[in-house]
Amino acid sequence: MKLNSRAQSAQNQHTNSPIVLVHGLFGSLDNLGILARDLVTDHDILQVDMRNHGLSERSPDMNYPAMAQDLLDTLDAHDIEQATLVGHSMGGKAVMAFTALAPERVGKLVAIDIAPVDYQVRRHDEIFAAINAVTEAGVSTRQQAAEVMRQHIKEEGVVQFLLKSFVGGAWRFNVPVLWDQYPHIVGWETIPAWDHPALFIAGGNSPYVTTEYRDTLLAQFPQARAHVIAGAGHWVHAEKPDAVLRAVRRYLAE
């Protein structure tokens, strides 16, 4: 599946590899825009809508081998031979899975607040409840949708994040499939080791990348290093964009 995407050419002449930015669950290609706006100064940038999100195609399958294949199909469509892959959360797992599918196509890898593990935890049930409540209420504006969601979600940042995908009175992600395939999204199947330097950026307040996952992570990414950003949660790139960009640029310069 070729994904809906937004391509931007670098503002300055360069020989750097292109960067592909991959959003997380309930997101869209706009989500990592804060990174794109900085990195496009000296990198070609490709932002994608993952399957069942944004304006990309719908599918009953939502697993990481399929998502990795989508990324490969999209790179092929854009004639990108090798790229730096940057993914947040679900997108981070998708780019990790890509290393098992086409390792030679990955120049560098950045995973933001996610580890290659099966979490076996349902952290999004209140979000699904809020999304479904908006649909059942039949509201048409983002203001109305926000009022409904606040009855289920206390974090205003999460409400505003979700609202970006509420367009014309409808959600731009495929809610039934995401619910049905949720075990695959939080899950993970171990992949062969990708033995190149990789950067894992973690929010200091987030439960997604902790010392308990260290051995599992290093078995699959033996040259990985972690960069923990204090005072940030799961949406670390939105909360502390400057710190994330400093870490990414240091890694890219190596």
Q: Which residues are catalytic?
A: 89, 234
Please name which of 40, 9, 6, 38 lies closest in space to residue 23, comparing C-alpha atoms. 6
What is the torsional sign of CA 135, 33, 113, 154?
Answer: negative
Return the CA Rg of the chain: 17
Write out the E strands in 80-208. Answer: 83-88, 106-112, 166-167, 170-171, 198-203
- Which element (helix H / strand E) includes 36? helix 33-39
Contact 172, 55 (CB under 8 A): yes
Residue 67 falls in which region: left (phi positive, over 0), alpha (psi -120 to 50) or beta? alpha
158 to 11, 130, 143: CA distances (angstroms): 32, 11, 14
